[in-house]
Structures are given as structure tokens and as C-alpha cells.
Structure 1
Amino acid sequence: MGPEGKTLLNIIILGFGFMFMFTAFQTCGNIEQTVIKSFNSTEFHGSGYTSMAIIYGVFSASNLIAPSVVAVIGPQLSMFFSGLVYSGYIAMFIHPYTWSFYTASVVVGIAAAILWTAQGNLLTINSTDATIGRNSGIFWALLQFSLFFGNMYIYFAWHGHVHISDEDRQTVFISLTVISLVGSFLFFLIQKPDPEATPSEVSESLLQTESTESASIVVAQLTDMCPLLTEKALQLSVTKEMLLLSISIAYTGLELTFYSGVYGTCIGAMTQFGEDAKSLIGLSGIFIGLGEILGGGVFGMLNKCNRFGRNPVVLLGLITHFVAFYLIFLNIASDAPIAPEEGTHLQAYITPSVELALLCSFLLGLGDSCFNTQLLSIVGFMFREDSAPAFAVFKFVQSITAALAFFYSNYLLLHWQLLIMVVVGFLGTLSFLVAEWVVVSSRRDTDYDSI
């Protein structure tokens, strides 16, 4: 197998590893609040929303130490050990205790930062300038399929179950733990790429290191770079361009919380949906995945022929989300996010419709892909020379707002949560339009100067 064939195989294995891991973890996040409300124990007083708030908060802060960890033990072992932590978090639900629940949340937050830093590093050393777009697309597609399989399993496993028993919970989480472990062990199949296939001098020096002494030198060099990376990220965070984009990025954190944890809980709490309410959480996740994959594929390809700029896609995302929010406001009871285990008996403004609820799931996924594809594109374009610290700022802002949103989801009724997203989404879209105008203006100036 040639160098390019080996690196392509590595990317495919990487994608399948993440697909298995996040089939388990995203499904866990989607159902955990519903499961916790069904768990009758005087020993447990946890909240799924609070757990996710802790995870994203710690994840955000841990981005400062993650590059050092990956530099010391390498991306492959970093992903493996992080995967084991994810599996441990999922396994904790087999018999949860409050202390183990929140401790695992903190550790997963640290592991998440290391996992995604290692993923970016491994993707880079297995790509060239010519193949990075293709490889990123392959990885994204395989990752998004994780939304299908886990949620499909929940749909069939909980079909007709009004109450989630201890046996139901244990069966699901044992299965998800095994699936997550499979993903972690897949990372050992990734082979070291040939030196000529790697794009950066740092990657080449890592691959060509044969002795412990030279490896230590490389590790020391990479570790010394981490404070510089942090300092650069702080400098970028207060630039005009990043401040403008931060409102849009903050919005993606809020709506990430809503579609990945809150909305599924709302559907499961609707007693008007009958015996299938709990299993519809899984079906909702599948429709979110359909919207994500469709939007990611279409709008990702549009970036190649960016004739009309990014603004139309972002505006489409805003309109799509506003339609979804309005329909959810009409269809779902206001107390659904914080309803007790037996669900809510309140009705919103129309007779609750399962079909409408699933349409909203699709629209949430589609709108999310509109914002994320264009934000990734504009951040990569604006900060081409400082992409690593720029994307560190991106993940920091997104994670902080996701943590905040999971925290207030414990207390706020549905209509207040929707109102917050409407306001921030509107302001974020306006700021994105201004940021895109800055990009277009600078491009015109560059073209004019080159004449």
C-alpha cells in the first residue's frame, strides 16, 4: 500500500473510531436526563443538565493543557485513554451515584479537550494541502452517522415503554459502553504514516524520531510552544474580527445544548405523545442527524464555489431555526424541559403532533450545519496564519456558552430558553454579516492592490 493509501486508511479508521465512540456518547447525552428522572434512588440526586454543564465548562478550560498532553504521549494514546474515560462515564449509568456522576463529568471534560486536540493532530499528519479537504469531509461524514445508530437503538429498545426501568437502563448503558470501547480500541489500527506524507516539519520530526533522547527534545519543543499558543489565542480573542464572530459562535453553543440534550428530554416528557414518547427521543436524534448530514454535505460543497459568499447560508440557518423554534413553541408544553419523570400533562398552543416534533428535529440539525460550516470556513479564512489558536478560541467560546445553557436548562421553562436563542441568534447573524463584509472588503482591497 502506497503512502497515500495508508494515510487514507488511517483517516477512515479514525472516522470509524469516533463514529463508535460518539454513537455511544451522544446517545448517552440525549437520554441521560430522561433516564435520571426515571431512576428511583435515595442515593442519587444528580441532573443530566448539570453534568453536561460541567463537561463543557471543564472542556473549555482544559483546552489550555491538552496540547501538552498530546505532545508528551502522542495522538494515538491520547485518543485511546480519552476514549476509555468516555466509556467510564457511560458505564457509570449502569448503577449511578451522585459523587461518581459528577466526578466522571469533570474527568470527561478534560478527556474531551485531549481527544479533540489529538484528533486534529492526527488528521493533520495524515493529510497534505491537497487532501486535507477530502479527509476532513470523510471524517465529518463518519462522525455524523453516529447520530443514526445509537438513536435508532433507543427507538427500538424503548418502543412502548412509558417508564424506563432499572433493567431497561442497565441493558442500554451496557450496550453503549461496549460500543464506546470498540471505538477506543480501533485507534490502535492507525499506522504511522510515511514521513513524506506529512505536511509539517513538526510532524516529520516526530515521525523520524528513533531514539528516546531525540523524542524528548521534540516533546520539549512542542511543550514550549503551548504557552505561545495560549498567548496568541488571547491576543486573537480581542481582535475586531473574532469579537464579531464570537456572538455567532456563542449561538452555536446555545443551540448545541438545545438539540443535543434539551429537546429530546422535552419530547420524552410529552404524555400526549402516548406510549411512544420515550422511544421518540431516539427518532428525534435520527432526524437531527439527517439535517446535519444534508446541510454539512450541501453547504460544505458550496464553500468550493463560494460565488454568493457565506451570508445566504447563515441567513438560511437563522430562518430555519426561527421556524423550528416557533413550531416547538406551539407544539411542546412550556414545562417539558423540567417536567418530572411521569411527564407533563400541559398542552401548548396546538394539539401536540409527533410529525411536527420530528420535522423540528430535522430543522434544528439543518440550521446547525448552516452555522457551523460557514463559521469554520470564515475562521479558517480570516486566521489562516493562526488557525490553531483561532480554533482554540472558537471551541472555548462555544463550550462556555454550552455549559451556561445546560446550567440554566435546569430552571428555565421552554419559552424562555427559546427566547434566549432567538435573541442571540439574531445578534449573532448580524455580527456574522458584518464579519463577512470585512472579509469581502479586504479581498477587494487585495485584488485592487495586485492590479
Structure 2
Amino acid sequence: MSPEGKTLLNVVVLGLGFMVMFTAFGTCGNIEQTVIKSFNSTEFHGSGYTSMAIIYAVFSASNLIAPSVIAVVGPQLSLFFSGLLYSAYIAVFIHPYTWSFYTLSVLLGIGAAVLWTAQGNLLTINSKDSTIGRNSGIFWALMQFSLFFGNLYIYLAWHNKSHITDKDRQTVFITLTVISLVGNFLFFLIQRPDPEPAPSDASESLLPTEISDSCDVIPSQTRGSQALEAFKRSIQLAMTKEMLLLSIPFAYSGLELTFYSGVYGTCLGAMTQFGEGAKGLIGLSGILIGVGEILGGGVFGIMDKCNRYGRNPVVFLGLVTHIVAFYLIFLNIASDAPVAPEEGTQMQAFIKPSVTVALICSFLLGLGDSCFNTQLISIVGFLFRDDSAPAFAVFKFVQSITAAIAFFYSNYLLLHWQLLIMVLVGFMGTGTFFLVEWAVMSARRDSDYDSI
């Protein structure tokens, strides 16, 4: 197999591993608040929103040490061991206790930081400047198939159910735990890329250390010094002009991640106007979010080769798509739906609630999210190719801290306030992304001119 064929295969395997694992975890996150409301036990006093807030808060802080872990253990083993924490978190719901629920929330936050930094690292070292956009799209589309499979199962299993029994919960979460474990073992199929020609300058000499596994012996650096250097580099990158500008779209991606992955499904399940099938709509909504994600990731990955206008048009499309979705949700869903009790909301929306409109909004949320995330992954991998692990750690640090804040305020804020926050941050994030992308395109034109 050619070197380029091997790296493309690695990207596909990486995407498949995330697809299988997040079939389990994404479905878990989408339904956990609804499941907890239906859990009949005086021993359990947990909140799905609070758990997610803890996960993303710890995730954010742990991104500072994630590059150090990867420098010592290697990206492949980092994926596997952090994936085991995802499986353990899902397994907690088979019979949840408050202490185990929140303990695993903390541990999962640490594992998530390592997992996503390792993912960005592996994606970058298996890509070139000319293929990073394509590979980002392929990975994102494959991973988002997870929303389709997991939520299809939920829709079929919970259709026309107004209450989730203990047996329903246990069956779902045993199945999801097994699925997540399968995804973890797929990471061992990733092969080491063939070495590139000897680098011509000192900065490129950092690349081989990124793909070293835990058994390599590196004469010039101890693993301890590698870990310290990775930590210091993360701090330095966070202070660069490009990262400071990109931090706002990073933050927006965290806010809308919270909304589509946890809040919106809960809102649909709380709408008594949708009838007895409201709980089943959580799964159907997740499927359509996944369809939007897959379509966006696939199309933007294919378009990357022929896109003369850079990443800005895709990000602008994402903003417009989300604004339309937010406006329709504002009209169609009762404002107290995110915080309604288990029996649902009795408030009226601005229009007669429509299942069709609600599901169209699900698709638009997924499509818009794919617009932002594929382009953010692409621009970070392009700008910081030689420092991919620290750069993706900064990306995930900002994204996860805003997600944690959003999950926290989702316990208290009515729907229209949550939508307003996302609209304001979305506009600002799109503007700052444009500034960075224009600088990239200007530098590329200058480089092409100098080479003539």
C-alpha cells in the first residue's frame, strides 16, 4: 500500500472507531437527562445537566496536561485507555448511584481531554497541508454516523412510551456499554505512517516525536522533558494572535454542542403537545442531527479540493443554518422545556408545536455543526501542523469550558435565553474566524507569488 493510501486508511479507521464508540456515548448523552427523570430511586439524586457540566469543566482543565500524556504514552494507547473511561461512564446507568455517577463524570472529563487531543494529533500526522481539509471531512462524516445508529435504536425501543422503566434503561445501557468497548479496540488497527523524508529545518524535526509510541527510546529527550515541553507549548500557543481570535468560534462550538447533544432532545421529550410519542422523538431527532452532520462532513470534505474561496463560505453557511434553526425552535418549543419536570411542560409555544418543524430543526443543527467543526479542525491542523497535539488541546480546552458553562446554566435558563446566547457568540465567532482565514489566504497568495 502506498504511503498516502496507508494514511487515508488510518483516517478511515480513526473515524470508524469514533463512530462505534460515540454511537454509545452520543446516545447516552442525548437520553440521560430524560432517563434520570424517569429513574425511580430515593438513593439517586443526580442531574444529567450537572454531570455534563462536570465532564466538560474537568475536560477543559485536563486539556492542559493532555499533550504531556500523549507525549509519554503515544496517541494510539491514549485513545484506547481514555475510551475505556467512556465505557465505564455509560455502564454507570445500568444501576446508577449518585457517588459513582459523579465520580465517573470527573474521570470521563480527564479521558475526554486525552481522547480528543490524541484524535487531532493522529489526524494531523496522517495528513498533508493539501489533504487536511479532506481528511477532516471524512473523519467528521464517519464519526457522525454514530448519531444515526444509536438514536435509531432509541426511537424504535422507546416509540410511544411516556415513561422509561428500569428494564428499558438497563437493556439500553448494557447494549451501549458493549458497543463502546468494540469501538475502543478498533483503535489498535491504526498503523504507523511511513516516515517522511528528512526534515529540512529544526522545526520539522518535532514531527517524528508526535508519532512515537510508548516503547520508543528517544535519545535527545526523556519522556519527562517531552511532557513538560508539550505543556509549555500549549500555554504558548494559547497566547498567539491566531488562537485568541479562534477562541471565540471554539467557544461557540462548545455552546451549540451542549444544545444539540443534550438540551434539544430533552426539550422534545418534555413537549406534552407532541403526545405519547414525545420520548421517541429524542431518538428521531438524534438521527436527523446525524444526517445533517454526515451530509455536511461528506460534502465539505469532497469540496475541499476545489474550494478556491477558503473556509469562510462554509462557516458562513453554518451560521445562517443555525440562525434559521434557532428561530424556528424559539417559535416551536415552549420556553420552559429545558427545565420541565418528568411529566413535561404545560406552557404554550408561540406557534402550534409541529413535529415536522422540530425535526427539520434537528437536521439544521447537525448541518450547521458540521460546517463549523470541519473547518475548525481543518484550520487548526493547517496553522499548527508541527504542534498539532498542543494546538488541539487548546481548541478542546476552550470548547469544553464553554460547554461546561452551558450545561450548568441549562439547569436554570429558559430556552429563549439559551438561544440568545448562542446567536450572539455565533456572530462574533464567525467574524473572528473570517479574520484568521483571510490572513491564511493572504499568506498563501504571497507564497504562490514568491514561487513564480
Shift of 1:130: 7.2
Partners of 2:147 and 2:293 in 1: how far apart? 9
Normalized against structure 2, the TM-score is what?
0.89
For 1:60, the equivalent position in structure 2 comes to 60
Which residue in 2 is equivalent to 1:399? 400
What is the alpha-carbon root mean square deviation over aligned residues?
A: 3.0
Q: Is the contact made by 1:4 and 1:197 (CA closer than 8 Å) also made in structure 2? A: no
What residue in structure 2 maps to residue 357 of structure 1?
358
Change (3 A) 1:381 1:180: closer
- Give the TM-score, by structure 1 length: 0.89
Distance in 2, Cα, partners of 1:298 & 1:5: 21
- Greater shift, 441-450 or 220-229, is seen at 441-450
The residue that corresponds to 2:27 in the other structure is 27
Any idea what SS the aligned residue of 2:279 has?
A: coil
Corresponding residue of 1:16:
16
Q: Does the CA contact (< 8 Å) of 2:117 and 2:392 recur in 1?
A: no
Cα distance, 1:11 vs structure 2: 4.2
Structure 1 letter corresponding to 2:325:
A
Measured after TM superposition, the shift of residue 432 of structure 1 is 2.4
Is the contact made by 1:206 and 1:218 (CA closer than 8 Å) also made in structure 2?
A: no
Equivalents in 2 of 1:307, 1:196: separation in Å?
Answer: 28
Cα distance in 2, alignment partners of residues 448 and 9 from structure 1: 34
Contact 2:68 2:230 in 1 (8 A): no
1:49-448 matched pairs, under 5 angstroms: 49-123=49-123, 135-190=135-190, 215-217=216-218, 221-446=222-447
CA contact (8 A) 2:125 2:211 kept: no
Q: Secondary structure at the match of 1:279?
A: helix
**Counterpart amino acid of 1:77?**
L
Q: Kindly tell me: are residues 302 and 9 of structure 1, through their superposed partners in 2, closer, same or farther at Cα, counting changes over 3 Å?
A: closer
Which AA in structure 2 matches 1:112? A
Determine the C-alpha separation between the residues in 1 that align with 2:243 and 2:76.
Answer: 32
Q: Report the more deviating stretch, 14-23 or 186-195.
A: 186-195
| More moved, 370-379 vs 343-352 | 370-379
Distance 1:197 1:279, change over 3 A: farther
State the one-letter code of the partner of 2:31.
Answer: I
Q: Offset of 1:320 from its aligned partner?
A: 1.1
Q: Deviation digits for residues 324-374 of structure 1, max 9, x if unmatched?
A: 111000000001001111111211111110000000001111111222223
For the Cα contact (< 8 Å) 2:67–2:231, is it kept in 1?
no
Identity %: 77
Pairwise CA distance, 1:205: 7.4
Q: Does the CA contact (< 8 Å) of 1:39 and 1:166 recur in 2?
A: yes
Instruction: Name the SS for the 2:93 alignment partner.
Output: helix
- Measure the CA separation in 2 of the matches of 1:186 and 1:415: 41
Is residue 338–residue 415 contact of structure 2 (8 Å, CA) maintained in 1? yes
Does the CA-based 8 Å contact 1:86-1:180 persist in structure 2? Answer: yes
Contact 1:195 1:207 in 2 (8 A): no
Query: Is this contact kept in 2: 1:147–1:286, CA < 8 A?
Result: yes
> Contact 1:303–1:377 at 8 Å: present in 2 too?
no
2:136–2:301 contact (8 Å) kept in structure 1:
no
How far residue 403 of structure 1 moved from its aligned partner, in angstroms, is 0.8
> How many pairs align?
448
Instruction: Note if contact 1:289-1:362 (Cα within 8 Å) is conserved in structure 2.
Output: yes
SS at match of 2:404: helix
- Deviation at 1:433? 2.8
Change (3 A) 1:126 1:423: closer
Structure 1 gaps, min length 5: none
8 Å CA contact 2:314–2:375 kept in 1: the answer is: yes
Contact persistence 1:126–1:197 (CA under 8 A): no
Amino acid at match of 1:53: A
- Bigger mean CA deviation after superposition, 367-376 or 81-90: 367-376
Residues 354, 391 of structure 1: alpha-carbon distance in 2 compared, 3 angstrom cutoff: same
Q: Is the 8 A contact 1:320 1:363 kept in 2?
A: yes
* Gap change, CA 1:242 and 1:12, over 3 Å in 2: closer
Unaligned runs of 5+ in 2: none
Q: 1:34 offset after TM fit, Å?
A: 0.6
Cα distance per residue 1:43-68 (max 9 Å; x no partner): 11111111111111111221222233
1:150-189 superposed Cα distances (whole Å, 9 cap, x missing partner): 0000000001110111111111111101111111233344
Distance in 1 (alpha carbons) for counterparts of 2:45 and 2:68: 36
Measured against aligned partners, the alpha-carbon deviations of 1:28-54 in whole angstroms (never above 9, x if no partner) come to 000001111111211111111111111
Alpha-carbon separation, structure 2, partners of 1:208 and 1:236 = 22
Deviation at 1:417, TM superposition (A): 0.3
